[in-house]
Each structure stands twice: as C-alpha cells, then as structure tokens.
C-alpha cells in the first residue's frame, strides 16, 4: 500500500497512527511523530491544554529514544512553553523556554521567539513590582533586537512592540534618554507604515519625556 493511498484512507491522525502501527509494529519514532503532530493540531485549534498534554507525552517519550536529537527536545520545550504563554501561565513559560535555550541547539531563527516570549512573560509577571523580572525582561527583549538586526526575521509591528516595551522599561528605570531613543525608533517605524494612531501615541510619549528632561535640567541650574 502506497503512502499517499494510506493517508487518503485515513480521516485523521489517530486513524493514520493506528494504520502505521499495524504495518510496522510498535515504533517509538512513529509514536513520537504522532504525538508531536497531535500537539501541533491542538495548538493550531487553540486548545492549549491538550497541546501541552501531547507535547509533554512526546517529550517523555523522547527520553526513552536512543540518540534523541537535542534540537528536537529544545523544540518541544518551546512548543510547551508557547502553549503555556497562550494560557498566561508565565512561570511555566519562563521555565520551559529556559530549558530550551540552555540546550544551545536552536538556530537564530528559532531562538528569537523564545527571547521575545521570555521578555514579555517576565514583564507581565513582574507587573512593575519585581526589579529582577524587569531586568530579565529588558535583557531578553534586547536579545530579540540583536538577533533581528542580523537576520531580519520580525515584521515592523512586532519590532514596534519591542521598542515600546523597552521604552517603558527604561522609563521605569529612570533612564529617560534611553526611553526616548526607543520611542523615537518606534515612531519612525509607525510613520513609515503610516500608522497614524500609533504615531500619535509615541509622539505624546516623546513629548512627555522631553518635557521631563527639560524640567530636570532646569531644577539643576
């Protein structure tokens, strides 16, 4: 039976998996691919609890496979982490993304989003009350910009979100000049895309910071 015929006869992955098991007996690699595919399907359908269930089963299975690729394990950590992020489980998001990055097996194109999600997870979890989390958020968001500068992976909308977050962080850390720099870069991107509402928002932020800097300098004289 040809592969195309087999796939055509199966209405879903569960049926396909059962057919493959009958044809080739029990094979951990087949089960690995099946569990990973099911996790991806549930993630696409925004059923993140079930996507975590299948990705974690896949991860557990990978521990029993001889010569498992660290890259595959790192990608599973990322899949679990992103599912937790969608559920706003920021502690788990941070935990699994760090596990993925610690393996040092992902290319730049796969590393940029873990840094982005880590940055926003730390920032959201901190709620402007945890200095260490805010510093961690700053580090990871800066890493996103460094990686994108060399690879040009992200679109302008995501870059603007990063600029705004870093501007807010620097403003919180009493570094108005750095905040001004990030807001200005965000404004330039907004204007190049003719995003008027966003442009006006950044103009207000920039004006407020400039006024604050002027007042601070006057107080010193």
Residue 29 has a pLDDT of 85
In this predicted structure, the answer to whether residue 17 has a pLDDT above a threshold of 80 is no
**What is the topology classification, in CATH, of domain 155-221?**
Methane Monooxygenase Hydroxylase; Chain G, domain 1 (1.20.58)
Give the per-residue pLDDT at 179: 97
* Conformational region of residue 67, where left means phi above 0, alpha means psi within -120 to 50, and beta covers everything else: left
User: Does residue 71 register a pLDDT over 90?
Assistant: yes
The tally of CA atoms less than 13 A away on the side-chain side of residue 33 is: 10
pLDDT in tens, 120-177: 999 999 888 899 999 999 999 999 999 999 999 999 999 999 999 999 999 999 999 9
Cα–Cα distance, 39 to 194 (Å, whole number): 39
Helix (H, G, I), strand (E, B) or coil at 194: coil
Q: Is 13's pLDDT higher than 80?
A: no
For residue 215, the model assigns a pLDDT of: 84
Q: Taking 90 as the threshold, does the pLDDT of residue 4 lie above it?
A: no
Question: Whole-angstrom Cα distance, residue 100 to residue 114?
Answer: 8
Distance between CA atoms of 172 and 169, rounded to whole angstroms? Answer: 5
d(CA 46, CA 152) in angstroms, rounded, equals: 28
pLDDT digits 0-9 by tens, 167-220:
999 999 999 999 999 999 999 999 999 999 999 999 999 999 999 888 887 787
pLDDT for the residue numbered 163 = 98
Is a pLDDT exceeding 60 seen at residue 3?
A: no
Q: Write the pLDDT tens digit of every residue in 97-123.
A: 999 999 999 998 899 999 999 999 999
Q: Are residues 176 and 214 in contact, defined by beta-carbon separation less than 8 angstroms?
A: no
């Amino acid at each position: 039976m040809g592969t195309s015929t087999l796939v055509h006869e199966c209405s879903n992955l569960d049926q396909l998996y059962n057919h493959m098991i009958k044809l080739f007996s029990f094979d951990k690699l087949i089960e690995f691919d099946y569990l990973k595919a099911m996790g991806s399907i549930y993630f696409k359908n925004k059923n993140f609890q079930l996507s975590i269930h299948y990705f974690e089963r896949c991860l557990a299975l990978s521990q029993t496979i001889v010569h498992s690729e660290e890259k595959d394990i790192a990608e599973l950590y990322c899949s679990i982490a992103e599912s937790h992020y969608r559920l706003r489980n920021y502690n788990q998001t941070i935990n699994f993304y760090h596990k993925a990055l610690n393996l040092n097996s992902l290319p730049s194109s796969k590393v940029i989003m873990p840094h982005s999600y880590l940055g926003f997870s730390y920032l959201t979890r901190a709620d402007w009350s945890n200095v260490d989390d805010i510093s961690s958020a700053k580090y990871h968001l800066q890493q996103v910009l460094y990686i994108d500068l060399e690879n040009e992976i992200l679109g302008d909308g995501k870059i603007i979100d990063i600029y705004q977050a870093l501007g807010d962080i620097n403003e919180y850390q009493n570094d108005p000049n750095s905040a001004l720099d990030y807001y200005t870069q965000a404004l330039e991107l907004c204007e190049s895309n003719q995003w008027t509402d966003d442009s006006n928002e950044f103009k207000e932020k920039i004006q407020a910071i400039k006024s604050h800097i002027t007042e601070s300098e006057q107080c010193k004289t």
